Amino acid sequence: MFEVNMENTLKTHGSLAYSNEAMHQEWNTTAYWANFIAIVNYVLLSFSVLALFRVLSDRQLFYLPPSIVVVLVFLLLLGVAFILTTFLYRFARKMRQAFMFGEQEDFEVAWLNLRNYFRWTGIIMIVVLAAYLCLVLILAYKLVNSFGDMGPF
C-alpha cells in the first residue's frame, strides 16, 4: 500500500513535472497578497469580537442586549470566517517557507491549504444559498396562505 502511494506520489507527468521560474514569481506574489488579506481579516475579526463584547457589556449604550440566538449566530459566523482566514494564512506562510528553505513538503502543504480554503468557502456558499432558497420558499408559502385566508373576492 505504501509503495503504491509512494509510486503515485512520485509519478511525474511529462512536461509539467517541475515548476519553473515564471510560476515561482506568480506564486510568490499570490502568497504575498494572500498573507496581506489574511492579516487584515484577522484584524477585522478581532475588531468584530471586541464590538460584540462592547454590545453585550454596555447596557447603557444599548438599551436591550441582543438575544442569545443572534449572539450565537454572530459567533458562528466569526468562527467560520476565522477558519477560512487560517487556511488562507497557512497557504501564504507555507508557500513563502517553501521558497525560503526549498522544502517540497511546505510546497505541498501550501496547495493543500489553498484547496481547503476554496473547498470550505464553496461548502459555506452552498449552505448560505440553500438557506436563502428555504427562506424564499417559506415566504412564498406564507404569502400564498395569507391570500387563501382572505377568502373569495
Partner 1 sequence: MENNYEQPLDLGFEAKESPQGELRFRITSEIRRYWKETARWGMFFSIIGLLYIGIALLTFFLSISLLGIHESTLSTFFILVALAIIVPLWWLMFRFSRYTQKAVLHDDPAAAHVGFTNLRRLFQLLGILLIILLVFYGIVILISLIAVLG
Residues within the interface to partner 1 (CB under 8 A): 8-24, 26-27, 29-30, 33-34, 36-37, 40, 98-99, 102-105, 107-108, 111-112, 114-115, 118-119, 121-122, 125, 129
Taking the complex as a whole, the smallest distance from the CB of residue 131 to partner 1 amounts, in Å, to: 14
Distance CA 110, CA 96 (A): 9
Nearer to partner 1, 9 or 67 (CB): 9
Nearer to partner 1, 119 or 142 (CB): 119
End-to-end CA distance of the chain: 74
> Are 78 and 45 in contact, with CB atoms under 8 Å apart?
yes
CA 141: distance to chain centroid? Answer: 33
Nearer to partner 1, 23 or 139 (CB): 23
